[in-house]
């Protein structure tokens, strides 16, 4: 079993959720038009990802495994995450108004974000204990945030750059993402991680 620190760096840099694992691409291309929206989205993802990792881990090990209902994993997890996001939204709206103003509008978008569901499956598949699952979720969320903010900063510049009309919009974004991904490939081998 790898140590929590290695799991963190693996999730954060080496196996970055967006650039290496290709999860959460819809918000990555969708809300990365300005640094402000990107950081709001990033915060919301870290928050929900960690909560979702805890709750699905508990559901899987306390309910599904003992009752031999593992085949219900996909259905249970997606419904849990959908209701969790809704609950978090209502709670923040009532109790933490400033936090809600910062990331509230991104919460509904997160329900269909495959990154959240993806990491809950991955931490079950990797047989993580609760501590490792938490570290994995936080590392992944941070990796998501760093990449989406970097990407938003680049796109703010791209808006002003003279670009061939055929490349405007998605094509140039994909090519920039390709270069970013190439840069992150340089992290492979860090602390012996692959």
Partner 1 sequence: MNKWQIFTRGLVKENAVLILMIGLCPALATSGTVRDGFGMGLAATFVLLFSNIIISIMRKRIPHEVRIPIFILIISTFVTIIDYFMQAYQPDLYRALGVFVPLIVVNCMILGRAEAYASKNSVINSALDGLGVGLGFTLTLTVIGAIREMLGSGTLLGVAVFGEAFKQSPVIFMILPPGAFLVIGVLKALINKYVK
Euclidean distance between CA atoms 78 and 112, whole angstroms: 9
Q: Is 20 in the site for partner 1 (CB under 8 A)?
A: yes
Residue 16 near residue 147 (C-beta atoms within 8 A): yes
Question: What is the CB-side half-sphere exposure of residue 118 using CA atoms within 13 A?
Answer: 18
Q: Specify the residue, 47 or 121, whose C-beta has the smaller distance to partner 1.
A: 121
Measured in whole angstroms, how far is the alpha carbon of residue 54 from the centre of its chain?
15
Q: Select the residue interacting with partner 1 from 35, 55, 102, 114 (CB under 8 A).
A: 114
Per the CB < 8 A criterion, the answer to whether 40 and 152 are in contact is no
The answer to whether 65 contacts partner 1 (rule: CB under 8 A) is: no
Please state, in angstroms and rounded to a whole number, the distance separating the CA atoms of residues 145 and 49: 12
CA distance 136 to 142: 10
Q: Residue 175 interacts with partner 1 (CB under 8 A)?
A: yes
Q: Rounded to the nearest whole angstrom, what is the least distance from the CB of residue 118 to partner 1 in the complex?
A: 6
Does 177 bind partner 1 (CB under 8 A)? Our answer is yes
Judged by CB under 8 A, the residue of 65, 69, 79, 131 near partner 1 is 79
| Residue 171 contacts partner 1 per CB under 8 A | yes
**Site for partner 1 contains 108 (CB under 8 A):** no
Nearest to 137 by CA among 17, 1, 3, 2: 17
DSSP label of 106: G
**Of the listed pieces 67-75, 96-104, 127-135, 146-154, which binds partner 1 according to CB under 8 A?**
67-75
Pair 145, 40: CB distance under 8 Å? no
- When the beta carbons of 123 and 145 are compared against partner 1, the nearer one is 123
Among 105, 172, 190, 193, binds partner 1 (CB under 8 A): 172
**Sole binder of partner 1 in the list 95, 166, 186, 194 (CB under 8 A):** 166
Residues near partner 1 (CB under 8 A)? 19-26, 29, 71-75, 78-79, 82, 112-114, 117-118, 121-122, 125, 165-175, 177-179, 181-182, 185
């Amino acid at each position: 079993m790898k140590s929590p620190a290695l799991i963190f760096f693996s999730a954060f840099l080496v196996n970055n959720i967006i650039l290496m694992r290709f999860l959460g691409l819809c918000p990555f291309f969708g809300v990365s038009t300005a640094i402000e929206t990107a950081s709001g989205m990033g915060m919301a993802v870290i928050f929900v990802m960690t909560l979702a990792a805890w709750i699905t881990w508990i559901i899987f090990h306390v309910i599904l495994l003992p009752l031999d209902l593992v085949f219900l994993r996909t259905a249970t997890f997606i419904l849990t995450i959908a209701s969790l996001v809704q609950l978090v939204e209502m709670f923040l709206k009532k109790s933490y108004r400033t936090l809600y103003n910062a990331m509230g509008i991104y919460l509904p978008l997160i329900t269909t974000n495959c990154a959240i569901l993806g990491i809950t499956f991955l931490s079950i598949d990797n047989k993580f204990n609760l501590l490792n699952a938490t570290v994995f979720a936080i590392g992944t969320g941070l990796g998501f945030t760093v990449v989406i903010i970097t990407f938003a900063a680049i796109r703010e510049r791209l808006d002003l750059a003279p670009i061939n009309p055929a490349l405007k919009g998605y094509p140039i974004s994909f090519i920039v993402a390709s270069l970013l991904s190439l840069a992150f490939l340089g992290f492979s081998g860090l602390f012996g991680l692959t």
